[in-house]
Structure 1
Amino acid sequence: MSVRLILRYDKTVRYSLNPLIAVADKIPGVRVVLAEDTGELYAAVNEALMNNEKCVVGYSILTTMLVNDAFLSELKSILKYLEEKNCITIAGGPHATGDPLGTLFSLGFKVAFIGEAEESLDEFLRHLVNGTDPFTTKGIVFREEDKVIATGRARPIDLDKHDPFPYWRRIINPLEITRGCPYGCLYCQVSYIHGMSYRHRSIEKIVFYVKEMARIGVRDYRFITPDSLSYGLTKISREPDTGLIEELLSSIHSALRSIGGRIFYGSFPSEVRPEHVNKDVVRVLRKYVNNREIIVGAQSGSNRVLRLIRRGHSVEDVLNAVKEISENGFTPSVDIILGIPGETREDQELTLELIDEVIRNNGRIHIHYYLPLPGSPLGLHPPARIPNDIEVKISRLIGSGKAYGSWFSQKELSEKIIKLHERGVIVPSIYKGPTMKTF
């Protein structure tokens, strides 16, 4: 059977979709269409139906997309239309993984893909092409009348066996070099989507994709990793593999020498954990990278809160990282979250003290408001209250340029996500609806 896979290619989720496009492009009998708006989606669906192709429509969903009432209403309307046309609707991404029941019953998708989907999407589409049962695919949850059936988690993939993006379409994005995180921070979705073991793309493969990007005309090279100084590690460690990091950066630098490409490493989207920062590894970065800012994930200035959320480092680690970064010619930019559940006023005041110390060391503060994300252990917990006087101090820091970030819009987002729970759009884990069956 000929299958048309129509992906709603929203720019906010293209990094999630690009590896899946790379997978689907290589399956005989599958035609992949990228619909950049609703009109293109409807046109592709109607053409597939006219050609008697099996129609599969896929979305990658972020929870933050659903707070937009217009988007949510349109999505539900589209999914209802597609169900009437006997199209299979599939969803993936952080929201589908974190809230599969809400994705199926509140939004109206037929199938939710759980976690990384390169191999599960490949299996699902090949079943459709071959006329076999796609609902035996590992790594999916789907509706069957009033029941939900989960097929079990798919095995973690080997990054070297999968393209990070479909470069043959001239579609690229920052190159993912590491997937998975062993720390399992309670506010974060990463470990619960991609697993708690590091998996690294080999230097050989990284250099291959860097060269393909160069052929397309890319000049600035960025990398996706939960921690750029974890490259090569196999388990939790306070010591980075400095030698392997230098081998990686040296190899990329050599591949780009002839075109004058610039390497951005340790900046977004490849921030660093503070305990991995030491004099030797910062000097390696200085030899090869073009960014002059290194982003450090601190999250709180309270050791009590850091232990509570299982960060695995201390405030002292943050201060040491800031010192080493600043003394070696970089600007430290420190990520801070306020409103973490369980946080007290005393904790928030300690965080303000850390902020002041970072600023005294020529650093900047990237400040965030806590978002209750489905699939994270704290995802069902609302933010801690932030007193007015502390909010005023944060506002002044942002106004002075000493801090930056989407603090005010994130506060509004957080409130809207809580309302999604109240409205039943997000289904909490204590949901008493359809029964779960696993086979």
Structure 2
Amino acid sequence: MTAERPEALDGVHEAFLAEPDAPLPDLVRPVVADSWRRSLRLGVDPVAHAPIEFNDSSLAAYRDAHPLAPLMPLVRSLLAEDAEEAGHIVAVGDAQGRLLWVEGHRGLRGRAEAMHFVAGALWSEGGAGTNAPGTALATRKPVQIAASEHFGLQVHPWSCVAAPVRDPLSGELLGVVDLTGGAELAGPRSLALVRACASAMESQLLAAARERAAWESTRPTVIGVPRRPAEQPDALRAARLAAKAAARPATLSLLGRDGAVLDVAGRTTTLSPRHSEMLWLLARHPLGLTGQGIDAALHERGEHLVTIRAELVRLRRVLAEAFGSDALASKPYRLVVGLTTDLEEVRRLLARGAVVKAVEAFPGPPLPGSAAPAVVAARDEVVAELREAVLRSRSAAALERWTASGSGHDDAAAWQLLEQVLPYGSPKRSTARAHVRRLAPA
């Protein structure tokens, strides 16, 4: 459901609570309908508050030892630093749906406390009914819940988006990251932002796991003292290793380039178009891809597996030289180092509502010369997301920059809107009008 029709579900929600066995209209998305029914089966009271499961002392001890604790600086940099300006709350919870950190806009946090959206509260579906953190954990997929899609009546004024966070090696569910706010969160940009944050968290976990494995393999064994198992590190060591991994940032610049530029701690490497495609695919899939999966993503018929494997061997060597160690694991193929892209900065600016800055940070679509099916689909999604934000903003500055770009130069709707929002008497209106006529159907 989008933000254009949240109020339409008010009556539907009331009717469902009165007659749960009655068929639901198509207006209710399947993910919401399934969650409402689960909430009823779990005995959730739609007028009750989420239960508080931790007091202050037990919460502090639990979350300090939680595997997501070392990732909070990353979450804050991606989501929380601009929360006051963007107008949202950032929450991170465990795999059971208990909120461990709730940060962000102070005024909104004060309002959210009234419905127990606080650290220590249980926001699983069993604790609070349909809501983004709980439903993301129940479905193990990113999800958006807007207004009356919530099961709890006190949550209807809110909208939220959330994505689960998994252990990148075992696939075990570790927790969830969530954005909560008003109706403005009910859109694809917010969902893309939390999905990107969850992906970055999983990438940092991979980097920390790599560091742990390297440390354990080189640590001398003392006779009579068994080596501590690598898979059971203490929280302090995990935090130090994650911080060490984060201190060597790696970014992949894709926008407007056929050959992406990999920057590892200030050292840059320009990749071939094929390696650029592969590395972007791997960055988008932190849990990894099989050789067949990469082949299908890059070719319509997926009949080039031998060539793909050879290119992956070459890519492994390139990444090893850039990172100073093996950065590409196999079975499945996956990155074992943290990697972000320049797309994430554009999405971060959009999430803040800084549309003009987002267009300025967008020199062009990612890997514009690629014809790989998965790359084309991802590229179209990025361009559509930015275009939608520009049109919704109705900002003359954003529209001018968009129509001046390669992606927006022939965008008839953008030129038409620009003509409408420019002030009367502006010489730019005649330019916009000329473009509208040029792009009009014959």
Q: TM-score, normalised by structure 2?
A: 0.27
For CA contacts below 8 A with separation 6 or more, give which structure has more relative contact order: 1
More helix by share: 2
Q: TM-score, normalised by structure 1?
A: 0.27
Structure index of larger Rg: 2
More strand by share: 1
